Copies of this chain bind each other. A is one copy, B any other.
């Protein structure tokens, strides 16, 4: 039998993990069916009920039990963000592999602590950046790597949704400062994960953050000041020499799951929008002049690992299936595949650093060198071990 799986958290993302663990062996013929060992949630009752619903062997109200269970080889962490660091570090120290939902942590210190734990453990530790698993994103990566659009020189990244767009929506924890910067850490990590896969790393940036609504109604009859920013944008430069713009907005009426990429190179360009996740657009100067134009490539069996899901082109993968691919890639990483297509804790920390750099820049109004962030803030981490 396959690896033993422990799942912490059974809300929406927990369900996603459960579906992935359930389906991965059916979809990928080279995978041994994982054993769904244990599920942990806030109370023993809830945990037992969800374990039954999701097909796990048992439920527990204490995630530390799950982590110390010798039958568990890999721990899925889909608990609230503030627990990610403690759970991931504990699991790694217990010798388990870790699959942790994004965002990595609620502070850069915690993210560094997680990265250090992963380094020390030698275990596989990855983050749930599922958008990178889209076959169309991988196809974009291949096309870029093959030079199909030449040398990339300009990039625009947008991520927008509208769940905070209604000014009549009462104040809740998402607008509290302690929940984070706002759109910046809710969203920016996603396009940055794609940038990391497709191109490289942001080296410097200048950012701005904005509040569409200064205050929001409380459940009572008053108003409360909004403490973080639903909108953020940054100008940036990358290690590969490109300029770019990053834009995120969680109060963008009409946008539901938009992650729009525009990548310009010396021989063409590539466009992508997650709202049409089965499509990729490319403009190539290799085409004859009278036939140049953006072409829309539909996801197909020629774009791995689409073929494992569907035999015919153009039939469409879904968001949840990206998680199944992520699960597969996690297994590849665990079993030593060096090309496993994952964002591990090392790379995840880079992404976190860019987010914190943006927040710092927005406060100061100046360009920031991303590499300096964290080290400046927390010099003690320079010699982590």
Contact = CB atoms under 8 A, between A and B. Distances in A.
Interface residues of A, number: 100
Contacts of A365: 206, 366-367
Contacts of A264: 165, 212, 249, 251-254
Contact of A316 (B242, B296, B318, B366): B318
A305 B233 CA distance: 35
A148, A213, A242, A314: residue with the most chain B Cβ atoms closer than 10 Å: A314
Nearest to A229: B243
Given A268-B254, A314-B275, A317-B319, A290 B139 contact: yes
**Secondary structure dominating the interface of A:** mixed
Contacts of A210: 153-154, 237, 242-243
A198 to B, nearest CB: 16
Nearest to A310: B319
A141 interface: no
A302 B315 contact: no
A18 interface: yes
A283 B311 contact: no
Contacts of A200: none
15 contacts: A29-B53, A156-B158, A210-B243, A212-B266, A234-B235, A253-B265, A257-B298, A257-B314, A257-B316, A275-B278, A278-B316, A282-B291, A293-B295, A315-B319, A318-B319
